[in-house]
Copies of this chain bind each other. A is one copy, B any other.
Amino acid sequence: MALFTSEYPFKVDRKGRISVPADFRTVLSQESYPGIVLIPVRGELALDGFGNGRLESLAEALDDPEIYDDEDELEQAQQLFAEARRLPFDGDGRIVLPEEVRAHAGITDKAIYVGRGSTFRLWNPDAYGAYKSKLNEKATAKGQSIRLRLAPKKKRAEG
């Protein structure tokens, strides 16, 4: 399975291009589509990112009547496809961030990729810093360390 970790700050050049971390590209190299998918995150100066395979799975879920029981939720989920952008790699492993994408996240000349497991996020660097601080405060307020949970080992999806 695809696994995204770590934080990678990158530059956006004057053409709106940005490199995708080599590690992420390696993870995505098994995908049929050479590129990434970006979807705006509501309420944050960030975008969710992943490979084409996950986008396909999300689309399949829309067609499955058992997954979205709430009609409004289904509608919202469908709308995410309208806001999604499929961005192909150029020959050097870069993508071009469309204007509306940069506008949503307030990205001008810098951005940071942040791994979150099976997906990643692309952030405005300052906004990410603020987000991290907020999370830290919450964590220390609760005064407990984060306890990671393991998925049950039943059926393991094959990579």
A62 lies within 8 A of B23 (CB): no
User: Taking A61-B150, A145-B42, A146-B42 as contacts, is the C-beta distance between A1 and B84 under 8 angstroms?
Assistant: no
User: Taking A1-B60, A5-B81, A81-B115 as contacts, is the C-beta distance between A23 and B86 under 8 angstroms?
Assistant: yes
A78 lies within 8 A of B1 (CB): no
How distant is A142 from chain B, measured CB to nearest CB, in Å? 8
CB < 8 Å neighbour of A3 from B5, B86, B153: B86
User: Taking A6-B84, A132-B79 as contacts, is the C-beta distance between A59 and B138 under 8 angstroms?
Assistant: no
Could you tell me the distance between the alpha carbons of A26 and B56 in the complex, rounded to whole angstroms? 16
Residues of B within 8 A of A55 (CB): 3, 5
A159 lies within 8 A of B32 (CB): yes
Kindly state whether residue A116 has any CB partner on chain B within 8 Å.
yes
Residues of B within 8 A of A52 (CB): 3
Interface size range on A against B: 35 or more
CB < 8 Å neighbour of A82 from B5, B32, B84: B5
Could you tell me the distance between the alpha carbons of A57 and B148 in the complex, rounded to whole angstroms? 10
A1 lies within 8 A of B59 (CB): yes
B63 lies within 8 A of A5 (CB): no
Kindly state whether residue A13 has any CB partner on chain B within 8 Å.
no
How distant is A103 from chain B, measured CB to nearest CB, in Å? 13
List 9 interface pairs A-B (beta carbons < 8 Å), by A numbering. Answer: A5-B37, A32-B159, A42-B146, A62-B118, A68-B149, A77-B146, A82-B114, A82-B116, A84-B115
Given A60-B118, A76-B146, 5 further pairs, Cβ under 8 A: A3-B86, A42-B145, A61-B151, A68-B149, A77-B146
